[in-house]
Amino acid sequence: MEDPSLFMAIARMVTETVHGGHQVFLNEEKVQPALDTDTARVDTTWYLDTGASNHMMSDASVFTELDTGIIGTVRFDDGLVVEIAERGTILFEARKGSHHAMVDVYHIPCLRSNILSIGQLEESGCKILIEDDFCRIWDRQRGLLAKVPRTQNKLYILPLTPAKPVCMAMSYEDGAWRWHDCYGHISFQALHRLSSGEMVHGLPPIKH
């Protein structure tokens, strides 16, 4: 059983601009991390942490976007300093198959456990409620994202299913797509209203 003290953190962050990118220094003063040198290991289990200031993930293959201009280090409780490789976005599958994005996740390759910051979730607009042996997480629209039971060692562990973004192929032989691009990716319903109401001179009938 892993030490539950791993998942408590009080952090300070300092950033510097370096050659067009950002150098990040995180100070997680009360985290005692379990580190791992096996970079081939894939773990999509997340520990909900009420003290950590940032989401942290060990596996780069799970990210859908990575900003390699974000680099730096994180200092842990025992003075150990480890590398931050980059920061990015993870797409995951929530209840009923819906997809949601987790942004500003630091990629720290040598972490053994992935940390989900409760504070960062709240800052992004999520609602968090911990009661009756469960931690419930709602999104901005108050749709339930997760219902996480408390373990025997008083941790909330959330297995997340990574999802890959779907690239929608489009044909520029369809004039509707060209007008869609010209109007900043406006919805096709809005384009239809513009054309049917003759509100834009030269806009042909849009049927898509």
Q: Per-residue pLDDT tens for 93-132?
A: 876 677 888 999 999 888 888 999 999 999 999 999 999 9
- Whether residue 111 sits in one domain with residue 200: no
Tokens of 80: 């150990």
Q: pTM value?
A: 0.64
- Whether residue 203 sits in one domain with residue 155: no
Strands 114-117 and 45-49: parallel
- Whether residue 205 sits in one domain with residue 142: no
- Whether residue 157 sits in one domain with residue 110: yes
Say which residue, 150 or 38, is predicted with more confidence: 150
- Whether residue 69 sits in one domain with residue 11: yes
- Whether residue 87 sits in one domain with residue 119: yes
Domain count, the chain: 2
Q: Per-residue DSSP letters for 80-127?
A: -EEEE-EEEEEEEE-GGG-EEEEEEEEE-TTBSSEEEEHHHHHHTT-E
Using CA atoms, how far apart are residues 69 and 57, in angstroms rounded to an integer?
Answer: 17
pLDDT at site 157: 94
Say which residue, 127 or 77, is predicted with more confidence: 127
Angle between helices 175-182 and 188-196 (to 10 degrees): 100
- Whether residue 153 sits in one domain with residue 176: no
Q: What is the pLDDT of residues 17-62, one digit of tens each?
A: 444 556 666 665 655 555 555 554 556 789 998 878 889 998 888 8
Which residue bears the tokens 């100070």? 27
- Whether residue 135 sits in one domain with residue 187: no
- Domain end residue (candidates: 162, 184, 200): 162
| Residue among 91, 33, 39, 83 at smallest CA distance from 60 | 39
Question: Which residues form the domain of 184?
Answer: 168-208
Q: Are 41 and 88 in contact (CB under 8 A)?
A: no
- Whether residue 186 sits in one domain with residue 157: no
- Whether residue 66 sits in one domain with residue 122: yes
Q: Are 114 and 47 in contact (CB under 8 A)?
A: yes
3 state SS of 196: helix
- Whether residue 100 sits in one domain with residue 121: yes
- Whether residue 93 sits in one domain with residue 27: yes
